[in-house]
């Protein structure tokens, strides 16, 4: 008892002990700890000898009370929750359990451990209201906590991404980002949000099925003393982005052959030259010209000429590796760029290209051939100089009888 008394008096939870006498309005309160008194507003002296029914009121659930009465009359364990009332009449939500105390097999008392769950109920109610409102919104919505862990995703978000809340709960939103941008996107947003700054950006998400989802994202940091919640909304701009990509592709693509046009080819050439120079790697350029193309147009017409141009472009692309580039440089000329190819590799590849074109005759025109000039980037050389050397080697191939490959010497034509 010396150990139990302090534990009873200093327990965090509210504890009340009653007898097991159901006569004369019982059972009756025998003891109540300070936590119970603080919760109910009664002093212990005001509670001793009274029935715990004094805490009940209009909103107390009669079904729960009937269940409680049945349990204690049977001497069995009880657990439940309802609304009780403080001494001043204010209601509070209580959750409690009652256990019977036995001596020689007889129930002699009941110990009830109680907890005020009003704040928890209110928080749950607010959460339920928030979820209901969030699910009414026609816009995908995502909520994360201070550690950027996902706590809520509305139905529109689930529909847009294919992920359910069960998939996302407790994870960081970067699981949805394009893997190539994951770290950069997360870090930049986290830095701004930590400073209380709102984030607005266009990003690419990955749906659960792996397909891209382009969105305009707005992230609002919320909190009183510090940011502890982030609310993100998303606007699907996939159609707009894909339309922009199509227009961008059309602006850099030759519509007849499907190869890059001169503008697109020059842009890629400049990028590849810069990359090769920075990494000290090889880059080969090949100028390919269709032999006697004017004769094709003059003899068979422009429709046949267009057909031959398209067929040559297909043969070139089919022979090249992933990462190699074909552009229609002008008229019947194609520029082929091969990153990482030294002069030996480039020469062998050029011969394969020449053979692939010759092996695909046109039904009307017959055998079609190309002449190819090859140059490999030298130290300090720019894009124009590289192409000029390949073009000079092409001229030599033409002068040498056509349907052949000629390699430019370093720094010379």
Count how many Cα atoms sit within 13 Å of the Cα of residue 185 in the half-sphere of its side chain: 19
Task: Enter the pTM of the model.
Answer: 0.47
Q: What is the DSSP letter of 53?
A: G
CATH code assigned at 320: 3.30.70.270
**Collapsed DSSP state (helix, strand, coil) of residue 248:** helix
CATH number at residue 31: 3.30.450.20
Span 138-163, average pLDDT: 93
Same domain, 69 and 132: no
Q: How confident is the model at residue 412, as a pLDDT?
A: 40
* Residue 325 lies inside a defined structural domain of this protein: yes
* pLDDT tens, position by position, 84-134: 999 999 999 999 999 999 999 999 999 999 999 999 998 888 878 888 888
Question: What is the residue range of 197's domain?
Answer: 121-241
80 strand-pairing partners: 96
Does residue 245 carry a pLDDT above 50? yes
- C-alpha to C-alpha distances, 65 to 15, 55, 121, 371, nearest whole angstrom: 18, 12, 19, 97
Residue that wins the pLDDT comparison between 199 and 247: 199
**Residue 29 C-beta-side C-alpha neighbours within 13 Å:** 22
Q: Are residues 85 and 146 in the same domain?
A: no
Q: Is 225 a member of any domain?
A: yes
Please, what is the average pLDDT of the chain? 91
Total domains in the fold of the chain? 3
Does the pLDDT at position 248 exceed 90?
no
Q: Is 210 left (phi over 0), alpha (psi -120 to 50) or beta?
A: left
Comparing 28-32, 224-228, 324-328, the range with the smallest average pLDDT is 224-228
Is residue 344 pLDDT above 60, yes or no? Answer: yes
Q: Does 129 lie in the same domain as 95?
A: no
What pLDDT is stored for residue 250 in this prediction?
A: 61
pLDDT of residue 251: 64
Taking residues 214-242, report their average pLDDT.
Answer: 85
- Is 155 in the same domain as 280? no
Q: What does each C-alpha distance from 382 to 7, 80, 375, 385 come to in angstroms?
A: 85, 82, 12, 5
Specify whether 183 is located in the same domain as 316.
Answer: no
Mean pLDDT of 205-226: 88
Q: Is the pLDDT of residue 1 over 60?
A: no
pLDDT of residue 413: 37
* 240, pLDDT greater than 90: no
Q: Average pLDDT for residues 261-279, to the nearest whole number?
A: 91
What residues contact residue 259 under an 8 Å CB cut-off, 6+ apart? 253, 265, 313, 316, 317, 326, 327, 328, 334
Q: What are phi and psi of 340, to 5 degrees?
A: 80, 5
User: Can you name the residues that pair with 330 across neighbouring β-strands?
Assistant: 333
pLDDT of residue 85: 97
Per-residue pLDDT, 307: 96
Task: Let me know whether 267 and 378 are in one domain.
Answer: yes
Question: Which of 208-222, 383-397, 398-412 is least confident?
Answer: 398-412
Q: What is the model's pLDDT at position 190?
A: 87
The angle, 0 to 180 degrees and rounded to 10, between the axes of the packed helices 293-300 and 302-319 is 140
Rounded to an integer, what distance in angstroms lies between the CA atom of residue 302 and that of residue 307? 8
102 and 136 belong to one structural domain: no
Is the pLDDT assigned to residue 48 strictly greater than 90? yes
Whether the pLDDT of residue 36 is over 60: the answer is yes
- Which of 208, 241, 274 is the C-terminal boundary of a domain? 241
Look at residue 2 and tell me whether its pLDDT is greater than 70.
no
Listed residues 88, 116, 144: the one ending a domain: 116
Percentage of the chain modeled with pLDDT above 70: 96
Band (pLDDT 50/70/90 cuts) for residue 182 is confident
* Mean of pLDDT values over 297-307: 95
């Amino acid at each position: 008892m010396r150990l139990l008394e302090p534990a009873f008096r200093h327990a965090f939870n509210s504890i009340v002990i009653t007898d097991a006498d159901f006569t004369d309005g019982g059972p009756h309160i025998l003891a109540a700890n300070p936590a119970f008194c603080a919760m109910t507003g009664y002093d212990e002296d005001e509670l001793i000898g009274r029935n715990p029914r004094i805490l009940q009121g209009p909103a107390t659930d009669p079904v729960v009370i009937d269940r409680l009465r049945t349990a204690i009359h049977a001497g069995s364990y009880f657990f439940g929750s309802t609304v009780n009332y403080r001494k001043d009449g204010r209601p509070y939500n209580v959750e409690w359990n009652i256990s019977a105390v036995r001596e020689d097999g007889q129930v002699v008392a009941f110990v009830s451990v109680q907890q005020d769950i009003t704040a928890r109920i209110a928080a749950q109610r607010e959460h339920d209201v928030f979820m209901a409102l969030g699910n009414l919104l026609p816009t995908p919505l995502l909520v994360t906590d201070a550690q950027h862990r996902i706590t809520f995703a509305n139905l529109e978000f689930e529909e847009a991404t294919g992920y359910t809340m069960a998939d996302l709960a407790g994870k960081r939103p970067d699981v949805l980002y394009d893997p190539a941008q994951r770290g950069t996107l997360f870090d930049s947003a986290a830095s701004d949000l930590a400073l209380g700054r709102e984030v607005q950006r266009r990003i690419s998400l990955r749906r659960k099925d792996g397909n891209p989802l382009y969105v305009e994202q707005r992230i609002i940091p919320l909190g009183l003393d510090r940011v502890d919640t982030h609310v993100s909304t998303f606007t699907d701009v996939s159609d707009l982005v894909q339309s922009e990509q199509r227009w961008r592709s059309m602006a850099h693509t030759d519509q007849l052959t499907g190869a890059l046009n001169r503008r697109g080819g020059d842009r890629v050439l400049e990028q590849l030259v810069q990359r090769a120079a920075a990494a000290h790697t090889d880059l080969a350029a090949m100028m390919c010209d269709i032999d006697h193309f004017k004769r094709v147009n003059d003899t068979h017409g422009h429709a046949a000429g267009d057909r031959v141009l398209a067929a040559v472009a297909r043969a070139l692309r089919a022979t090249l590796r992933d990462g190699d580039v074909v552009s229609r440089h002008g008229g019947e000329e194609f520029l082929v760029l091969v990153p990482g190819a030294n002069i030996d590799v480039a020469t062998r590849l050029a011969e394969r290209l020449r053979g692939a074109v010759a092996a695909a005759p046109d039904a009307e025109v017959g055998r079609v051939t190309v002449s190819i000039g090859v140059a490999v980037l030298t130290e300090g050389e720019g894009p124009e100089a590289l192409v000029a050397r390949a073009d000079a080697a092409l001229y030599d191939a033409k002068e040498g009888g056509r349907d052949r490959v000629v390699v430019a010497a370093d720094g010379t034509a």
